[in-house]
Amino acid sequence: MTFSDIFKSSFLENVASVSILDMALAMVLAFGLGVFIYLVYKKTYQGVMYSSSFGVTLIALTMITTLVILAVTSNVVLSLGMVGALSIVRFRTAIKEPLDIAFLFWSIAAGIVLAAGMIPLAVFGSIIIGVILLVFVNRRESVNPYITVLRCDSSESEKTALDFVKKNTSKCVIKSKSARKGQIELNLEIRLKDENTDFINALADLSGVESAVLVSYNGDYMG
């Protein structure tokens, strides 16, 4: 292969398949949409520990998807090879929050639509999705749920404690119960009549009650 053959290579012909202006515009818009998705995620996060790396991943995922789709749309042969390459990729990271899946698909969809040239759809669609998530995810219930872990020494003290809890709460549901000699443990989902939690002190002072623990509860029970 001579020096002139290198410049005749089909590989170099693909350099101008996507203009510099198109690349710059697509990547800037992808970055902007990624930042918007990241801010919505940060505002609506309700998990135990916030992960900033996942938020940055949303920005990177939007830009990477845009980059890939730009390449695919410029070359049909490349699109077929890309499908084969991506088919062997496996993501094994566990998604702990169901809402995180929606943000991942949102980032990918925004990158695809943006790289396909549908800029208004990508921008206005992302705005609408963000507003809907902000409204519904941040909607708070009027009464916050709690879990009460109750330990009693007999069935008589258990009945007395349950009657006391039902009297001082608007709702009481037994989630689990374990019993062994000399001890009964109950996990109760409760709704307080007000935000006053002083009743838990009186509950712990009842005869036969060994301990009473009140824990804030987000609605996801694992027993």
pLDDT of the residue at 128: 94
Domain boundaries, the chain: 3-137, 145-216
Tens of pLDDT, residue by residue over 65-89, are: 888 888 777 665 555 556 555 555 5
- Higher pLDDT: 16 or 57? It is 57
User: Given a cut of 70, is residue 117 above it in pLDDT?
Assistant: yes
Nearest to 208, CA basis, from 184, 178, 175: 184
pTM to 2 decimal places: 0.62
Q: How far is it, in rounded angstroms, from Cα 53 to Cα 172? A: 39
- If pLDDT is split at 50, 70 and 90, which confidence band does 156 have? confident
- Higher pLDDT: 15 or 134? It is 134
Half-sphere exposure of 104 (CA within 13 A, CB side): 11
User: Given a cut of 60, is residue 10 above it in pLDDT?
Assistant: no
| Residue 184 dihedral angles phi and psi, to the nearest 5° | -125, 130
CATH 3.40.50.620 at 145-216, yes or no: no
- Read off the amino acid at residue 51: S
DSSP string, 106-144: HHHHHHHHHHTT-HHHHHHHHHHHHHHHHHHHTPPPSS-
pLDDT of the residue at 62: 92
Lowest mean pLDDT among 11-15, 19-23, 65-69, 137-141: 11-15
Tell me the three state secondary structure of residue 154. Answer: coil
* Mean pLDDT score of the chain: 79
- Higher pLDDT: 154 or 194? It is 154
User: Given a cut of 60, is residue 183 above it in pLDDT?
Assistant: yes
pLDDT of the residue at 83: 57
Contact (CB, 8 A) for 119 and 57: no
- If pLDDT is split at 50, 70 and 90, which confidence band does 13 have? low
pLDDT of the residue at 81: 58
- If pLDDT is split at 50, 70 and 90, which confidence band does 23 have? confident
Contact (CB, 8 A) for 212 and 168: no
How is residue 86 written in tokens? 């991506």
